[in-house]
Structure formats: structure tokens, C-alpha cells
Amino acid sequence: MWVSEPLGGHVGSDDTPRQRTPSGVKPRTVLIILLPLIVGYAALFTWAMQRTSYDVWGALWLAPVLIVISAPVLLRFAKGEPHAWIGQFLVLALVLKLLFALPRYYMVASVYERGDALRYSEVGTTLRPYFLNLDFSVAQLGDRGTGTGTRFVEVVTGIVYAITGPSVIGGFIFFSWLSFWGLYFFYRAFRVAIPDGDSKRYALLLFLLPSMLFWPSSIGKEAWMTLVLGITTYGCALLLARRRGASIYIVLGMAGVLAVRPHMALLVVAGLTLGYVLRRGSNQRAVRLSKFRTLVGLAIIGGITLLAIRQVSAFFGIDEFNLDTATDTLEQSGDRTADGGSEFEGGGSSLRDLPMNVLTVLFRPFAFEVNNIQALLAALEGTMLLLLFVLSLPRLRTIPRRLRTQPYITYCITYTILFCYLFSSFQNFGILARQRVLVFPVFLALLALPLPTTGPRRSTGQQNGRRRQRVTDYAVAATRE
């Protein structure tokens, strides 16, 4: 067990720092356990080099390298955390995340034998020789023929292949690694913004939820968006908590969001703006500085909003972005997704349809709507999340009194509601199951809020004694009058 004294971290009801004692695990014991695994893996790698193509053995060397690069960073972060187990947990979560790239690859390459990931890989292989020669003129990110977001992912895949070599399985593993770091930043955002939250519960849900392990573990937009949304959300959490360094994360993250799915940037901006405006003011000593930071923050948010609207208009090919054009675009998207065997009848776009839209995006399909094994797995997860939501109602009841002191909650609620409204137009359970991984990290944060605190209950004797004392006092006061 990893043992180290905490160097800092947030203290809360769920995360009280503990004195860590040696676990008794000796380095020699660790070496005895790891040595056979290392020797066996080396033998497997040697065999794969002789019997398989680079598509296979290229992935075998890439995965350990990514783990070795990542583990020190994760363990260093864990030193500031109050839980002794978080360091090992993050490393194990990374290993599990990379392993899930294999079934994800099997689904795309063997079950469906087609998919965007294979096309990204093919184009990335074509671009690789140019990037090796530092010729980036072929990128053509402004080419509207394949869509700006699609072309961007193709270029990223080409750059990855220039570093790792053209291995499709290796590409899946690398993009799965990128999405893991997005989840890592979501976790850090939760720790910064809700320090008294149930971080253990959030970590287990965030890193081990089947959808989060599976869907963003392939070459594609979901993995990239998980990464950049995580970075952006961490920056938003820093800004809302009045911590330093927020701007660099927001700018970098939003640049990545705008490059692939600019309409998602509007969800982030809406949540950040509302949380920023509603947060509680600072103390009197910092009023002037707070006003200055507020003006600067609002200026940055306003600039990002204008840029996002401009990018959204260009992304959808519309001259003017407003409520009418947005509604028309969403309806067209819904019509295009209403096929493929997993289609369903979607709800409306009015406010009265919002509860059903939230239910659909977060929890459906239900068990009676299942028609294949993939839908069954999605239904089991959705049912589990719905049950967890019901059991978390005592936590959710604390939201009203936390909105101003912890404005990150406002950010999560706003983002979740707008996401459900936006994606409720996609009338296909298969697409919804893949896309909602981009809302789960902020939605799960609401289910990990701390339980309401209650004072120690008085015994029945104490209550009866206090009641008799009040009656006596009232009789004495009446006699004096």
C-alpha cells in the first residue's frame, strides 16, 4: 500500500486527513510480485513481434510507456489528497481504462466492421508521412468538405501516428489515455469546488462507470472532448472558487472544444456565467480587487461566448445563430439519427418536455425498450443510475443553500440541463449512449454532494426535562403577573 504523509488537500466531512502508517509491504515483496509479470510481458512482446503485425505489437509497447509516464504524476497528486488509497486507485483506474480500449476496438473492427474510428485511422495513416517531414500544409482544418471537427480529429490521429507509429489498436489505447486525463481533471475540479463532497463516491462513479470506461476509449471525438471538457471544467472550478491559474486551463480547454464541437462550448459558457454571477461576494477587504476580477472574468466569458457563437454558426453552416435556427438545426439532427435499429420517438423541445428529455438523455433506454445486447447493457446502467439518483435525494436537497457558496454546483446543473435539451433531439439510443459520457462527469458530481449534517439527537429524558422546565417557567411567569 502506498504510504506517504499528506502535503495538503481539502478538509471536509468526508475527507478528514488521516495519519498514515506503514502498511508492512516491503520493496522486496513488490519486486517478487512484479518480476514474473514483467518477464511474462516481455516474452509476450517478443512473441508478438515475430508473429504479428505492428498493429498488435505496437500497442503492446505503447500501453506500458503511457502507464510509466502517468503513474508519477498521479502519485504526486495523491500526496495532497486525504485518502491514502487514491494514488493506487488512480493508477489502477488508468490501467483499466487502457484495457477497455481492446473491447472498444473489437466492437468497431469485428462486430460492426466499420465506424468513424477506422476512417480516422486510415486518414491519419495517410497524413503521417507529411507530419514526419514537418509538412502540416495537408492539415486543411478549414476544409468544410468533411467538417471542421472531423478534420481536426483526423489531423490529431496523424500526429499521434507520427509519434507512435500506425497501429489502430495503439491509436485506441492512446485516445483512451487522453480521455482518462479528462476524467482526472474532472476529479480535480470536484475536489477544488466541493471540498466537503463525497470524493470517494465520485471517484468510483467517475472512473469505474462502464460508459466512461468503454465509449471514450477509441479514436474519435468522444475521447478528445472528454479531455478538453475536463480541462475546461477544472479551469471553471478554479475560477468559481477564486483560485489562481484558471485562465490558462479555460483558454486551452475551450480551444480544444471549439475545434471539434463548438456548440458544446455554449453549454460551458452558460454554466460558468450563471455560476460566476450567483457566487457569493468576497469580504470587505477585497471588495475592490473582487470587482476588478469580476469585470475581467466577465470580459473573458463574454469574449469566449462571442467566439463560440461564431464557431457554432460556421459549424452548422448558418448565417445567424438564434433560437429559431438552433431549434431547426436540432430538429434536422434528430431526423438524421432516427434510424439504425435503435431509434425511438423523442420528446418535444418546449419547457414542459424538459423533465422527460432529462430522463431520456440520462437514464434511457429502459428494460422494456431493449432489442439487443448493447441496449441491455445501457439499460442496466441507466437503471442503476436512476436508482442512485433516487437514493441521492437527501444530498440533492442541500443544493439550494450551496448555490452561492459552491457555484460549481450551478455550473453542473446548468450544463446538465442544457445538454439534455440539446441531445434530446437525437432519437437513437445507440448515439445517446455514446454521447452522454460528455455529461456524466458533471451530473455525477451532483450525486456525490455531502449528506446533510444533523446535530446530535437529544435523548428522550433530555427532551422531557426541557419540556417540563419550559412549563415551569411559564407557570412562574404567569404567577408573577
DSSP string, 92-116: HHHHHHHHTHHHHHHIIIIIIS--H
Measure the CA angle with vertex 62, ends 59 and 66; round to 5°.
140
Res 9: pLDDT: 44
Residue 371 has a pLDDT of 82
Closest by Cα among 159, 115, 112 to 133: 159
So what's the pLDDT on residue 2?
A: 40
- Please name every residue paired with 134 in a beta bridge, in sequence order, or none if there are none: none
Q: Which residues of the chain have pLDDT under 70?
A: 1-31, 141-148, 281-350, 454-481
Inter-residue contact 254 to 233 (CB < 8 Å): no
Q: Identify each DSSP E strand in 1-66 by its residue range.
A: none
The pLDDT of residue 136: 87
Residue 383 pLDDT:
95
Q: Cα–Cα distances in Å, from 186 out to 86, 92, 259, 412?
A: 15, 17, 20, 11
Inter-residue contact 153 to 227 (CB < 8 Å):
no
pTM: 0.81
Q: What is the distance in angstroms between the CA of the first residue and the CA of the last residue of the chain?
A: 72
Residue type, 33: I
pLDDT attached to residue 309: 54
Q: How far is CA 80 from CA 86, 91, 193, 195, 232, in A?
A: 10, 16, 15, 13, 22
pLDDT for the residue 114: 83
